[in-house]
Amino acid sequence: MHELSIAMSIVELAEEYAGKEHAEKVTELEIEVGDFSGVVIDALEFAMEEAVKESICQGAVWKIIPVHPLARCGSCGHTYHPDSLFQPCPACGGYGAEILQGEELRLRSILVE
Ligand SMILES: [Zn+2]
């Protein structure tokens, strides 16, 4: 399962950070997931429950923050919220927009104590 390996690497990152900070436990995690990241949020929630068991993150509260896609048209510079990666620019109909956000999958913040 794709999401489980993602959840495990989030927990690993958190453990690494907690180690550097000499923290005893992780209390809160914020994870940003773009609509275009290919990650299913429900599946990631479920995977996180598994991944935090027996780890320094056990008992931590995690928030998964969806990031809505934003694209900038390469032809006219218009920015818009695309529903898919292949949606043409609504202003000029051009393709080949640059995706500004929506593909991310990252640990935005972490609280330890
Ligand atoms: Zn355009």
Over residues 58-95, the pLDDT tens digits come to: 999 999 999 999 999 999 999 999 999 889 999 999 99
**26 located within any domain:** yes
Residue range(s) defining the domain that contains residue 26 = 2-68+102-112
| Cα dist from 77 to 39, 81, 105, whole Å | 28, 13, 25
**79 located within any domain:** no
Number of domains in the chain: 1
CATH number at residue 42: 3.30.2320.50
Please state, for a pLDDT cut of 70, what percent of the chain lies above it. 99
* Nearest alpha-carbon partner for 67 in 91, 22, 31, 29: 31
Ion ligand 1 neighbours, Cβ < 5 Å: 73, 75-76, 78, 89, 91-92, 94
2-20 vs 41-51: helix crossing angle, rounded to 10: 50
* Nearest alpha-carbon partner for 109 in 41, 59, 63: 63
**96 located within any domain:** no
**89 located within any domain:** no
pLDDT for the residue 85: 85
What is the Å distance from ligand 1's center to 73 Cα? Answer: 5
pTM of this structure: 0.86
pLDDT for the residue 71: 96
Pairing of the two strands 26-34 and 105-112: antiparallel
| 112, pLDDT greater than 80 | yes
pLDDT for the residue 75: 96
Query: Residue 91: helix, strand or coil by DSSP?
Result: coil
**108 located within any domain:** yes
What is the Å distance from ligand 1's center to 36 Cα? Answer: 20
